[in-house]
Every structure is written in structure tokens, then in C-alpha cells.
């Protein structure tokens, strides 16, 4: 019995989105695809099915297992900074159909027909990943028409999505790729307490954001604490004007999401009851009908006792022969895109990224997360993270920050260059982010500065560990570590060939591959890629 | 005038400073480092001797005779350069950008013409930014005004001293004009409008110079500026005060070159994103350019042609270039930015020149500042390695002959929380 059978015209509109894709199982989550066995599980027709909450049934594109047309390549002779904290002094990487099929020491074995690239003396790293970008939503050139990153019409705009604003022809994208960055999370700005949904993109040429979208990557939720929201709205004499107002706004928004979750639970329970009752009544009616027909037949054929037949006919006359009418279904709760996004965040389907500078602001956000039962995946900017690094490490909250930005506002006054190194030393999850279309072109340099600041301060950090700050750790923060972030068999062939030690200021990303396709080669003709830079 | 204040006054005009004679001046000898100077090959096993505020000897190790009172600093395996100079910062006048009460970098007025405003009036030698910049090898900065079309006069600060008088080597370094991205300033002007008003201002100043007594603002001034502003513009007209024009678009650069030529201005260009397009004209006019090395890509409609090898191309064409970060808190990135200029094709010696000697030459302070030279102020940085490389750091820093602390508010925070 399918829920569709019970949907009346009145409810169909409300459930349209929920039911738009009947193929999506209600337990779909981000991460690796479900196993084949799960996908093939037979539907029990007798099972009562109830529409799920919309945020639980959002279609997630499957991450492709291979890329048609991507050539087989073997890279030989390079130093490999693997991304998982290890290093192979001289090794090989094999790529087939856009996926890494072998990584190891020595020359390795070339698949038949593979292109052999001798990259001796060079260094290969995974493609670099930035957890914090506004490329596409604040694109080049700076222009009034390009201010698409901050929906500053209300302090809470959880309903908006960065992907709806990303301009795929932002000339900054190709420059980031040329610097070795292959994946970025594009977030709404930080004017709002809850800015909306972030999206994760691969830096491949496309006319659309959808064409760049990292298939299978969960959305992020952008939140902000501290000065920005209270300044933007306080200057308009609107809420929030203080840090108190910030928290009140965020708590209120999450309470609305929790209410929506409760409404959906209530709806599901009552729907379940209604459908169960109807199913039982229908089954009962069918059983009774069958029983009646059996008895009538028995009486007609004189195989039943006459006394029984008299009793039965008396009871048949009293009972209605009509089948049970289904009870009117209830309307599902009203759609609320913002609350649904926050509900998805509570359920871990959307990963929470919080712009926060001061230690006490971060602590308030952790208290909010505890109260509302969501997890914070990463604090962004987080200049004070070093002061509470033990707490952040224990809670597995990653720290996305710069190498050296500080002082541009009061909450950024205590930034120190050793921040990332201290997070690393305390067992936390350090991530070098850029928040800058300039910085994202040289994430290797920024990571290098953070690494050397730590080394000079006596904190031992290997190159192999520091490269994690721009590869595996951001991949984890974005929920895409099953597919990218390290040179590992089965992962996407997103990798960079550096002409020298990538921690040198003079290093160039000589070749950049995304999904096994060479997307940048230093000095090769072809720039520009953006339509905006087309010149006669 | 006391001896001390006279020295300070002399210091303020920079070029004419002479060390006051003293007995038993303490000497510091930095020995065995590889010395890099603009226009010279590297000098290995060098000896640089500092006495008082100045460099008194540069020699090879073999030619050096140590005196008993010398303090010797071992530079073995190290690199010695002039201290770095970022000519376009707001260090000392902007503590926290978003806190209005913490900066003094602009004249508070609606008027776009602010020639008489001298940012030196706001310089705070106790700024937390100073030590942070020093830690990464900066010894001097240009302190620039912001806001308006004619933004005011910049200053040259050495990153030492307890008073503005001690720190400021030049209080009226140059007159700054913004003919660039209007979103950067509050002049609210487009380029054509800016040029129109600029010409009018220069006309007014010429009228004023010809008849100071008969000048009346209402009757004679199209742009409505007063005598205090005009006095400053007259200095510019007479070539006594350099004019820094912040400009990006190639056509605008050519317009500014013509304006400067017509009016006899001592012109310096800043930002100059599309300078590479008109590099021959810049070289012919012998106009120095201060460039942001990380400027690449069409960041706005006046810089559609911005590219990372701009500095390299200008240098190759024979233009004198200096490099700037355009930052204040992170002016410390200057060495990284210079490294990026090298990465984009600028020869390493030219990059070193562009962050040490060129700023002093461009602003006429080369008698006292710039590449290490006997007689100049001892502003020196001793590096563990290539100063542009991210792995290197400052081992010791000297400003006006004194070794300065490399501690900052940030190193203290690190120690408190480590």
C-alpha cells in the first residue's frame, strides 16, 4: 500500500516536494552511496508508508564512481604529500577513469595505454580545498550588480542558498585553480546570524553552478556570531544590536526548526495511525466479506448446519456491506524553507559552519549547539581558537582560519600566527581557509606561513602534517573526505603537480587535475576561461 | 633650541641629518653575513659596522679590525639586507579599522579637497601594529591618508621612537590623490570628474600663487578650497612636494602623466594595475610606480587588466618600481608579496631594491634611507635565509643603529596561552 493512494488533491500540493522523488529513501544521508544490497531491498507492499519531512528527502546526487573519457595516467618520480599525514619520498600515482587506482613507492605499474608523466623532482599533493570562499557570490569585478553574497534584509535567512547566486564565470575561479585549489565551499556572507546554505564546488569550467557542484557533497549552513550581525542590524536600530540579541535571534530560529521537527513527528504519527487504522479496517472488512461469502456458500450448499445459517443471516442483515471509507488525511505542516534547513542541520544532513572570532563567542555557540542538539563542524576565522583549543579538540570541532589576518576589527585583535600550529599540537583539526579570492590562489603559501610560525615557536610540524590543513582536514569539514582530500585508492583524481616544494613562496602549481582531467597547465595557452574576460 | 630638539628637527627633514658628535659611540659589528644591496653583487663574509644611528663601515671580513668596545653579532650563514619599507600603509594612524575612534587617517569633512591635511598629526608611535611589522623585517613605512580626492599628505615613519618627532623622518612626504576606484574613497567621483576638479584645483593654486593677497576663495576658487590647502598645492606645483596619484586604468595613467607634465608635478604613481599596458610611456616620463604584487584579475572596472607580472613588466621596461601591500596590520606580508613578484618574473635583486632602496629614492630620502651604505641610517635586517622565503625569519633588526625588540603583543599572547 503506497502513501500516494491516500493523497488527496488538498494534500498533494503540500507533499509535492516530499514525494517528488519517490526513489529517495528516507534514511539517505551524506557520505558514501548506500550499498547495492540496500538499494535492492524489496518494498513490502503491506508496509504503511508515511511521507517524510522534506529536509529528509532532499535528493542528493550520487557521487560518480568514475568519469567517462578521463584518460589513464601514471605519475612517476614525484615526492608525494599524501594528505593523510604521510609522505612518500619518491612514488607513483595511477589514475584511471578519473579515480586514483594505485599510490605507492617506486615507479609502479602502468596500466595498458596509460599516459606516463615523468614528474621527477616535483611534488604531488591532493587538490587543495578551501572551506571558506565567496567566489561566485561576490565575483570579480567588484560591482553593485555582483553583491550576491549577503541577503541583508533580515538577520536570519536560513532559506537562501549560495548556489542560487554563484556566477560560474567569476574570473577568480580559474585563478584559484591555477594556484592548485580544486574544491571550495562557497558560503553566504557573515552579515546575518544565519546566512543560509553554503555549497561545495569543484573548480571545473562550466556555465552553471550546477555544473561545478561537487556531486554528493552535503550543503553547509553558514552562521555568524559576534560583531557583524549586530553591527549591520544595530546600525539600522534593528535586532540584533548586541551579542545578547545575536544569541536570542539564533535560539529563536532553531526553536522554530525544532517546532517544525515536532510538527512533522506529530504528522507522521497521526498519519501512521490513520493509515494503520484504515489498513486494519480494510483488512477486517475483506476478512469479514470473505467469511460471509464462505458462510453463504456453505449455507447454499447445505454444508453448514441450519441453525448456524440462521444466526449468520441475522448478523449479515445487521452489518453494513460497505467497505470502510478512508479517514480524511491531515495536512502536513506548512513548508518553511529556513526551518527545514535548520532541521537538516540538527539532523546532520547539512553541516554547520560558524563565523566566530572570540573564544567566548565560540563558547556561546557551543552552548547553543548543545541546547538545540546540533553539531558544529567548523568554526571559521576563529582567531581566538588557540585559547580554547582543548575544548575544540575534545568536541572534534575543526578550526578554519588564516595564517596571519588580525586586527581589522576588535574581535580580531588577539589573532596570532601560531593559532593553527597550536590547534595542531593540541590534537584538534586545523584548517587553513582563505575567505579571499586572492588567498585562495596561494593556499600553499598561507599553509606554509602557518606551519613555519609553529616551527619557529618550537611546535614540531612535518610538511606531511601541514598539507593536511589544506587537503584532508577541509575535506572532512565539508563531508567529502570519502572522495577527496588525500591520494588514496578509490578517491577522485584531484591532484596538483608542484614545480618544487609547495611550501616555497616561489612554487607554482604546474599541472592541476580534477577528476583525472588536466584543468590547468602552467604557461599553456587558453586563458582566460571566463566569458567575462573575452576580448576582441 | 636645545641640542636634542634641534637634532629632532633636523631628523624631521631627513636628508640633512648629521650625527651629533659624541664621545665613545657604541659600535655594533655584524660579521660574516652575506650582504645584499641594491646595485651591488652579494658580499659574502661581510662586515657592517654601526655607530650611533649610522652605518660607518661596510667591508669584507678580512679588512675588518675589531675594537674592544665593539659588540659583535655573528651573521654566519645569515643574510643581511636593508630593513624593508612599505610605502603605502596606515600604520600608526589606524589601529582597528572598524572602530572609528581608533584611527586618524582621514580628515573628517565632506570636502574632497584636503591638501592641507597631514596624516602625521595622527601618528601614534605606540601603535600595536608597529612591532608586528618590525617582526617581519620592516623598518620604515609610508603613512598615508585616506578619503577624498586630494586625500592629504603622507609621512615617512621609521618604526622606532617614543614620540612622533622621533619616529617621523618626513612629516610631509607627498600629496596623495585618488583617481582610482571610487569605492575606495569618499570623493564620489568618476575619473573624468576627478581630473576636471584636479585641473581646477591646480588652476586655483596658480592664481593664488600669482596674487596671494588678492585671492578670495569665493571669487577665485572653482573648487572652493582655502588658502591652507592652496599653500600645499603651490608646493606641489613648484615641484617641492611629490604628488602620489593612485590610479589603475591605462587611459587614466596617460591622462595623469600629461597633467603632471603640464603642471610640473613631481609625480609618483601608485597601484597602477594597468601600468604594463603603458610601460614605455611610464619609462619615458621617468615616473616611478608603487605596485601591489598580488593584484591579478579584473577586480573592478578600472583594473580590468590587472595582472601578476605587472611589476616584472614595468621593471623590464625600465620603470623604477617599489612594492607595497596596501595593508597595515599585515604590512608584514611585504616580504611574501615581494616573493610573489619574483615568482611572477621580477628578478630577485630588483624585488629587493623595490622593498628597500627604491622607496627611499622615490621619496627623496635616499641620503638617509635605503640600501646599506656608509653614512646612511642603520636600518638593517638580519635574516635566517632568503628574506622573501616563507621559511625564513628575522634574526635581528636594527633601526637607526639600535637593535630593536622582536616581541609583539602577539608573541606575548602566544606565551600566555601556549
Of A175, A410, A445, nearest to B297 by CB-CB distance is A175
- Which residues in chain B are closer than 8 Å to A418, comparing Cβ atoms? 414, 418
Beta-carbon separation of A171 and B298 below 8 A: yes
**What crossing angle do the helices spanning B191-210 and B250-263 adopt, rounded to 10°?**
10
d(CA A128, CA A509): 11
- Which residues in chain A are closer than 8 Å to B388, comparing Cβ atoms? 505
**Per-window interface: A 101-140 vs B, CB < 8 A:** 140
- Which residues in chain B are closer than 8 Å to A452, comparing Cβ atoms? 390-391, 393
Cis peptide before A528 (omega within 30 of 0): yes
Residue B255 within any structural domain of the chain = yes
d(CA B91, CA B132): 10
Chain B residue nearest residue A414, CA to CA: B410
Cell of B259: 597633467
Find the Cα–Cα–Cα–Cα dihedral A448, A454, A457, A460, rounded to 10°: -110
d(CA B16, CA B6): 12
Task: Say if CB A185 and CB A133 are below 8 A apart.
Answer: yes
How far away is chain B from the Cα of A406, in angstroms, using its nearest Cα?
Answer: 7
Residue B363 within any structural domain of the chain = yes
Residues from B contacting A (CB-CB < 8 Å) are 95-99, 128-129, 132, 181, 183, 294, 296-301, 303-304, 329-330, 332-333, 336, 339-340, 342-343, 388-391, 393, 410-411, 413-414, 417-418
Beta-carbon separation of A140 and B298 below 8 A: yes
Element of type H or E holding A245: helix A243-300
How far away is chain A from the Cα of B384, in angstroms, using its nearest Cα?
Answer: 11
The residue to which cell 599541472 is assigned: A511
Residue B104 within any structural domain of the chain = yes
Beta-carbon separation of A407 and B340 below 8 A: no
Beta-carbon separation of A141 and B301 below 8 A: yes
Chain A residue nearest residue B127, CA to CA: A407
Residue B335 within any structural domain of the chain = yes
- Which residues in chain A are closer than 8 Å to B413, comparing Cβ atoms? 414, 416
- Which residues in chain A are closer than 8 Å to B390, comparing Cβ atoms? 445, 448-449, 452, 503-505
d(CA A343, CA A328): 28
Chain B residue nearest residue A412, CA to CA: B96
- Which residues in chain B are closer than 8 Å to A227, comparing Cβ atoms? 98
Beta-carbon separation of A171 and B332 below 8 A: no
Express each pLDDT in B388-415 by its tens digit: 999 999 999 999 999 999 999 999 999 9
Beta-carbon separation of B300 and A231 below 8 A: no
What is the pLDDT at residue B132?
98
ipTM confidence: 0.93
**Per-window interface: A 453-472 vs B, CB < 8 A:** 456-457
Which residues, including other chains, have CB under 8 Å from residue A525's CB and lie 6 or more apart? none
Beta-carbon separation of B300 and A142 below 8 A: yes
What is the pLDDT at residue B24?
60
Question: For chain B, what is the domain count?
Answer: 1
The residue to which cell 541546547 is assigned: A371
**What crossing angle do the helices spanning B128-135 and B409-417 adopt, rounded to 10°?**
80
Beta-carbon separation of A387 and B417 below 8 A: yes
Which residues, including other chains, have CB under 8 Å from residue A278's CB and lie 6 or more apart? A6, A324, A326, A327
Beta-carbon separation of A442 and B340 below 8 A: yes
- Which residues in chain B are closer than 8 Å to A506, comparing Cβ atoms? 339, 342-343, 389
d(CA A421, CA A503): 15
How far away is chain A from the Cα of B326, in angstroms, using its nearest Cα?
Answer: 13
Beta-carbon separation of A143 and B298 below 8 A: no
Task: Say if CB A137 and CB A106 are below 8 A apart.
Answer: no
- Which residues in chain A are closer than 8 Å to B128, comparing Cβ atoms? 407
Q: Hey, of A141, A454, A527, which one would you mutate to test binding to chain B, going by the most B CBs within 10 A of its CB?
A: A141
Beta-carbon separation of B333 and A506 below 8 A: no
Residue B289 within any structural domain of the chain = yes
What is the pLDDT at residue B23?
53
What is the pLDDT at residue A526?
67
Residue B406 within any structural domain of the chain = no
Beta-carbon separation of B97 and A409 below 8 A: yes
The residue to which cell 556531486 is assigned: A215
What is the pLDDT at residue B395?
98
Of A406, A437, A505, nearest to B340 by CB-CB distance is A505
Express each pLDDT in A81-91 by its tens digit: 999 999 999 99
The residue to which cell 616620463 is assigned: B285
What is the pLDDT at residue B27?
93
Burial zone of A145 (CB within 10 Å; 0-12 exposed, 13-18 middle, 19+ buried): exposed
Task: Say if CB B376 and CB B25 are below 8 A apart.
Answer: no
Task: Say if CB B66 and CB B72 are below 8 A apart.
Answer: yes
Per-residue pLDDT of chain A (536 residues; tens, 9 = 90+): 333 333 333 333 333 333 333 333 333 333 333 344 444 433 333 567 788 899 998 877 899 999 999 999 999 999 999 999 999 999 999 999 999 999 999 999 999 999 999 999 999 999 999 999 999 999 999 999 999 999 999 999 999 999 999 999 999 999 999 999 999 999 999 999 999 999 999 999 999 999 999 999 999 999 999 999 999 999 999 999 999 999 999 999 999 999 999 999 999 999 999 988 888 888 888 888 898 889 999 999 999 999 999 998 888 877 666 888 888 888 999 999 999 999 999 999 999 999 999 999 999 999 999 999 999 999 999 999 999 999 999 999 999 999 999 999 999 999 999 999 999 999 999 999 999 999 999 999 999 999 999 999 999 999 999 999 999 999 999 999 999 999 999 999 999 999 999 999 999 999 999 999 999 999 987 666 899 999 88
Task: Say if CB B116 and CB B228 are below 8 A apart.
Answer: yes
d(CA A64, CA B67): 75
Q: Ramachandran region of residue A515, left (φ > 0), alpha (ψ -120 to 50) or beta?
A: left
Mean pLDDT over each residue of chain B, to the nearest integer: 92
Q: How many residues would you count in chain B? A: 418
| CB pairs < 8 Å spanning A and B | 103
Beta-carbon separation of B297 and A171 below 8 A: yes
Of B294, B304, B414, nearest to A416 by CB-CB distance is B414
- Contacts of A528-536 with C-beta under 8 Å, sequence gap 24+, read A528/A171, A528/A174, A529/A173, A529/A174, A529/A205, A530/A169, A530/A170, A530/A171, A530/A173, A530/A174, A531/A169, A532/A140, A532/A141, A532/A169, A532/A170, A532/A171, A532/B298, A533/A171, A533/B298
Beta-carbon separation of B413 and A141 below 8 A: no
How far does CA A13 lie from the centroid of its chain? 28
SS3 A498: strand
Residue B410 within any structural domain of the chain = no
d(CA B399, CA A52): 70
Of B96, B339, B410, nearest to A410 by CB-CB distance is B96
What range does the domain containing B273 cover? 84-370
Q: What is the CATH number of the domain that holds B156?
A: 3.20.20.140
DSSP state of B110: S
Beta-carbon separation of A410 and B297 below 8 A: no
Q: Hey, of B100, B129, B181, B298, which one would you mutate to test binding to chain A, going by the most A CBs within 10 A of its CB?
A: B298
**Domain over A127-245+340-485 is classified CATH 3.40.50.2020:** no
d(CA A421, CA B256): 47
Express each pLDDT in B333-377 by its tens digit: 999 999 999 999 999 999 999 999 999 999 999 999 999 999 999
A391-400, B69-78, B132-141 — which is least confidently predicted? B69-78
Q: Hey, of B327, B338, B355, B390, which one would you mutate to test binding to chain A, going by the most A CBs within 10 A of its CB?
A: B390
Which residues, including other chains, have CB under 8 Å from residue A178's CB and lie 6 or more apart? A441, A509, A512, A520, A522
Q: Within 13 Å and on the Cβ side, how many CA atoms surround B89?
A: 34
Beta-carbon separation of A449 and B336 below 8 A: yes
Express each pLDDT in B145-195 by its tens digit: 999 999 999 999 999 999 999 999 999 999 999 986 555 455 556 888 899
SS3 B131: helix
Of B96, B298, B336, nearest to A141 by CB-CB distance is B298
Express each pLDDT in B21-63 by its tens digit: 445 678 999 999 999 999 999 999 999 999 999 999 999 998 8
What is the pLDDT at residue B183?
52
Of B183, B301, B390, nearest to A449 by CB-CB distance is B390
Stretch B307-327: mean pLDDT, rounded? 98
Q: In 3D, which of A490, A466, A528, A512 has the Cα closest to residue A183?
A: A512
Task: Say if CB A484 and CB A126 are below 8 A apart.
Answer: yes
What is the pLDDT at residue A46?
56
Dihedral sign computed on CA atoms, order A393, A396, A397, A398: positive
Which residues, including other chains, have CB under 8 Å from residue A432's CB and lie 6 or more apart? A400, A401, A402, A403, A420, A443, A446, A447, A450, A469, A470, A474
Chain B residue nearest residue A509, CA to CA: B343
Stretch B285-306: mean pLDDT, rounded? 96
How far away is chain B from the Cα of A461, in angstroms, using its nearest Cα?
Answer: 13
Task: Say if CB A509 and CB A178 are below 8 A apart.
Answer: yes
- pLDDT higher than 90, residue B91: yes
Task: Say if CB A59 and CB A466 are below 8 A apart.
Answer: no
Asked if A416 is an interface residue toward chain B (Cβ–Cβ < 8 A), one would say yes
- Which residues in chain B are closer than 8 Å to A410, comparing Cβ atoms? 96, 98-99
Residue B136 within any structural domain of the chain = yes
Amino acid at each position: 500500500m503506497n502513501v500516494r493512494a491516500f493523497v488527496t488533491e488538498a494534500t498533494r500540493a503540500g507533499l509535492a516536494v516530499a514525494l517528488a522523488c519517490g526513489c529517495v529513501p528516507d534514511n539517505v544521508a551524506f557520505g558514501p552511496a548506500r550499498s547495492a544490497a540496500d538499494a535492492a531491498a524489496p518494498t513490502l507492499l503491506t508496509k504503511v508508508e508515511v511521507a517524510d519531512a522534506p529536509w529528509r528527502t532532499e535528493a542528493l546526487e550520487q557521487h560518480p564512481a568514475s568519469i567517462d573519457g578521463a584518460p589513464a595516467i601514471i605519475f612517476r618520480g614525484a615526492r608525494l604529500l599524501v594528505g593523510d599525514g604521510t609522505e612518500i619520498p619518491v612514488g607513483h600515482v595511477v589514475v584511471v577513469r578519473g579515480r586514483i587506482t594505485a599510490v605507492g613507492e617506486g615507479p609502479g605499474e602502468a596500466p595498458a595505454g596509460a599516459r606516463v608523466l615523468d614528474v621527477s623532482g616535483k611534488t604531488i599533493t591532493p587538490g587543495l580545498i578551501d572551506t571558506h570562499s565567496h567566489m561566485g557570490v561576490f565575483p570579480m569585478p567588484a560591482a553593485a550588480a555582483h553583491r550576491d553574497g549577503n541577503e541583508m534584509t533580515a538577520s536570519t535567512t536560513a532559506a537562501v542558498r549560495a548556489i542560487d547566486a554563484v556566477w560560474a564565470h567569476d574570473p577568480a575561479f580559474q585563478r584559484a585553480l591555477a594556484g592548485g585549489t580544486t574544491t571550495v565551499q562557497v558560503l553566504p556572507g557573515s552579515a546575518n546570524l544565519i546566512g543560509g546554505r553554503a555549497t561545495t564546488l569543484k573548480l571545473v569550467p562550466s556555465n552553471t553552478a550546477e555544473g561545478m557542484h561537487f556531486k554528493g557533497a552535503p550543503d553547509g549552513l553558514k552562521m555568524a556570531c559576534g560583531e557583524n550581525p549586530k553591527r549591520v542590524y544595530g546600525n539600522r536600530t534593528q535586532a540584533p544590536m548586541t551579542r545578547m540579541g545575536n544569541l536570542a535571534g539564533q535560539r529563536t530560529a532553531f526553536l522554530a526548526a525544532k517546532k517544525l521537527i515536532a510538527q512533522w513527528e506529530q504528522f507522521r504519527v497521526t498519519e501512521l495511525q490513520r493509515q494503520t487504522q484504515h489498513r486494519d479496517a480494510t483488512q477486517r472488512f475483506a476478512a469479514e466479506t470473505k467469511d460471509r461469502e464462505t458462510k453463504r456458500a456453505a449455507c447454499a450448499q447445505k454444508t453448514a448446519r441450519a441453525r448456524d445459517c440462521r444466526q449468520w443471516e441475522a448478523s449479515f442483515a445487521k452489518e453494513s456491506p460497505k467497505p470502510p471509507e478512508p479517514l480524511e488525511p491531515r495536512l502536513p505542516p506548512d513548508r518553511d524553507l529556513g526551518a527545514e534547513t535548520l532541521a537538516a542541520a540538527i539532523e546532520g544532513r547539512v553541516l554547520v559552519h560558524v563565523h566566530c572570532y572570540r573564544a567566548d563567542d565560540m563558547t556561546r555557540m557551543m552552548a547553543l549547539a548543545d541546547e538545540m542538539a546540533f553539531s558544529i563542524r567548523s568554526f571559521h576565522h576563529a582567531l581566538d581558537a588557540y585559547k580554547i583549543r582543548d575544548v575544540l579538540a575534545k568536541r572534534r570541532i575543526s578550526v578554519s582560519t588564516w595564517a596571519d589576518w588580525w586586527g581589522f576589527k576588535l574581535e580580531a585583535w588577539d589573532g596570532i600566527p601560531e593559532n593553527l600550529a597550536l590547534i595542531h599540537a593540541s590534537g584538534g583539526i586545523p584548517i587553513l581557509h582563505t575567505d579571499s579570492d586572492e588567498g585562495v590562489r596561494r593556499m600553499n603559501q598561507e599553509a606554509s606561513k602557518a606551519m613555519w610560525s609553529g616551527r619557529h615557536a618550537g611546535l614540531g610540524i612535518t610538511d606531511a602534517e601541514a598539507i593536511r590543513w589544506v587537503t584532508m582536514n577541509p575535506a572532512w569539514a565539508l563531508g567529502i573526505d570519502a572522495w577527496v582530500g588525500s591520494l588514496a585508492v578509490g578517491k577522485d583524481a584531484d591532484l596538483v603537480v608542484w614545480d618544487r616544494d609547495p611550501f616555497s613562496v616561489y612554487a607554482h602549481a604546474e599541472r592541476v587535475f580534477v577528476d583525472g582531467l588536466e584543468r590547468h597547465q602552467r604557461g599553456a595557452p587558453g586563458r582566460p576561461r571566463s566569458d567575462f574576460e573575452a576580448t576582441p | 633650541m636645545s641640542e636634542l630638539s634641534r637634532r629632532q628637527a633636523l631628523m624631521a627633514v631627513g636628508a640633512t641629518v648629521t650625527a651629533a658628535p659624541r664621545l665613545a659611540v657604541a659600535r655594533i659589528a655584524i660579521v660574516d653575513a652575506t650582504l645584499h644591496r641594491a646595485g651591488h653583487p652579494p658580499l659574502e663574509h661581510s662586515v657592517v659596522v654601526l655607530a650611533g644611528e649610522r652605518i660607518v663601515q661596510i667591508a669584507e671580513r678580512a679588512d675588518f679590525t675589531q675594537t674592544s668596545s665593539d659588540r659583535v653579532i655573528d651573521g654566519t650563514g645569515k643574510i643581511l639586507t636593508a630593513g624593508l619599507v612599505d610605502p603605502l600603509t596606515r600604520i600608526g594612524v589606524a589601529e582597528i579599522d572598524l572602530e572609528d575612534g581608533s584611527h586618524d587617517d582621514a580628515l573628517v569633512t565632506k570636502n574632497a579637497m584636503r591638501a592641507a591635511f597631514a596624516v602625521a598629526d595622527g601618528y601614534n608611535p605606540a601603535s600595536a601594529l608597529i612591532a608586528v611589522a618590525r617582526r617581519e623585517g620592516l623598518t620604515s613605512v609610508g603613512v598615508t591618508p585616506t578619503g577624498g580626492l586630494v586625500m592629504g599628505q603622507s609621512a615617512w615613519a621609521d618604526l622606532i621612537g617614543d614620540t612622533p618627532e622621533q619616529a617621523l623622518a618626513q612629516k610631509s612626504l607627498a600629496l596623495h590623490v585618488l583617481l582610482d576606484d571610487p569605492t575606495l574613497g569618499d570623493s564620489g567621483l568618476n575619473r573624468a570628474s576627478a581630473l576636471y576638479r584636479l585641473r581646477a584645483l591646480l588652476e586655483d593654486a596658480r592664481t593664488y600663487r600669482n596674487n596671494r593677497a588678492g585671492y578670495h576663495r569665493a571669487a577665485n576658487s572653482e573648487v572652493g578650497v582655502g588658502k591652507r590647502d592652496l599653500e600645499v598645492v603651490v608646493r606641489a606645483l613648484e615641484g617641492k612636494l611629490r604628488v602620489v596619484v593612485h590610479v589603475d586604468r591605462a587611459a587614466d595613467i596617460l591622462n595623469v602623466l600629461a597633467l603632471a607634465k603640464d603642471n610640473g608635478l613631481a609625480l609618483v604613481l601608485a597601484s597602477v594595475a594597468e601600468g604594463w599596458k603603458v610601460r614605455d610611456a611610464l619609462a619615458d616620463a621617468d615616473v616611478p610606480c608603487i605596485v601591489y604584487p598580488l593584484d591579478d584579475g579584473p577586480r573592478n572596472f578600472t583594473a580590468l587588466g590587472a595582472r601578476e607580472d605587472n611589476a616584472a613588466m614595468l621593471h623590464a621596461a625600465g620603470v623604477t618600481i617599489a612594492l607595497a601591500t596596501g595593508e597595515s596590520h599585515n604590512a608584514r606580508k611585504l616580504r611574501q608579496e615581494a616573493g610573489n613578484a619574483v615568482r611572477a618574473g621580477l628578478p630577485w635583486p630588483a624585488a629587493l631594491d623595490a622593498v628597500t632602496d627604491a622607496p627611499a629614492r622615490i621619496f627623496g630620502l635616499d641620503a638617509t634611507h635605503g640600501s646599506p651604505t656608509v653614512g646612511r641610517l642603520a636600518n638593517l635586517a638580519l635574516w635566517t635565509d632568503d628574506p622573501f622565503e616563507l621559511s625564513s625569519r628575522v634574526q635581528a633588526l636594527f633601526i637607526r643603529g639600535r637593535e630593536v625588540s622582536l616581541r609583539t603583543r602577539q608573541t606575548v599572547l602566544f606565551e600566555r596561552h601556549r
